[in-house]
Amino acid sequence: MTFTKEGNTTLLVVSTVLIIINTLLFLLINNVIILSIMAIASLLMFFFFLQFFRLPTREIVIDENKIYAPADGEIVVVEKTNEPEYFKDERIQVSIFMSPLNVHANWFPISGIVKYFKYHPGLFLVAWHPKSSIDNERTSVVIENEKKQAILVRQIAGAVARRIVWYTDTNEKAKQGEQFGFIKFGSRVDLFLPLDAKIHVNLKQKTTGKQTVIASFD
């Protein structure tokens, strides 16, 4: 287990504030019980923030026919829908909701070339809101493999998540299982897959990034 660099500033601010508060209490209050409670509460708060930025070490079996989960979370959507941004046709949408307790890193589901990337500033509706996929702050990444099979991965910020981070751009190589982004404090990741993709997950199923097979190419 390691921790992503995206948490450095947040953790520095949180730890500094907690140290100042506890130092002031130590100077102003002469009560061992209260000081002990505050010290324990401060440690718990620090570890609460720390877990947001954990980055687990996971092995992946590279398979060009499999589409792996790009995030930890729970399947909240599996349906046919129109994808209006890039494909402009009907696709199978699979959405993963990332709670504040999930790992917030995002990984490439397949290998290939990033054919399209775009960042959209937007709102911060709750992640399960029907319009969050088109109105919220989000990124769209289209990856095309060697067989010209393409999928779209969309990072979506929610009511709590206020910053999306990405490490990729158009025409760059994508490697299955490699981290391509991070959503601070969780949110949602949508996948738009070809209609002939075979889906291997169900609603409310838990997913593990780089491990759960979402679908496979026909």
My answer on whether 50 and 130 are in the same domain is no
Q: Which residues of the chain have pLDDT under 50?
A: none
* Whether 34 and 79 share a structural domain: no
CB 96 within 8 A of CB 103: no
**Domain span at residue 162?**
66-216
Q: What is the pLDDT of residue 7?
A: 75
Look up the pTM and report it: 0.83
Instruction: Give the per-residue pLDDT at 137.
Output: 84
Q: Are residues 126 and 23 in the same domain?
A: no
Q: For residues 20 and 104, state if they share a domain.
A: no
Same domain, 11 and 85: no
**Inside any domain, residue 94:** yes
Q: Within this chain, do residues 94 and 14 fall inside the same structural domain, yes or no?
A: no
Q: Which of 42, 133, 187, 216 is catalytic?
A: 187
The number of domains in the chain is 2
Instruction: Please confirm, yes or no, whether 42 is among the known catalytic residues.
Output: no
Q: How does pLDDT run across 150-192, given as a tens digit for each residue?
A: 999 999 986 555 578 899 999 999 999 999 999 876 688 999 9
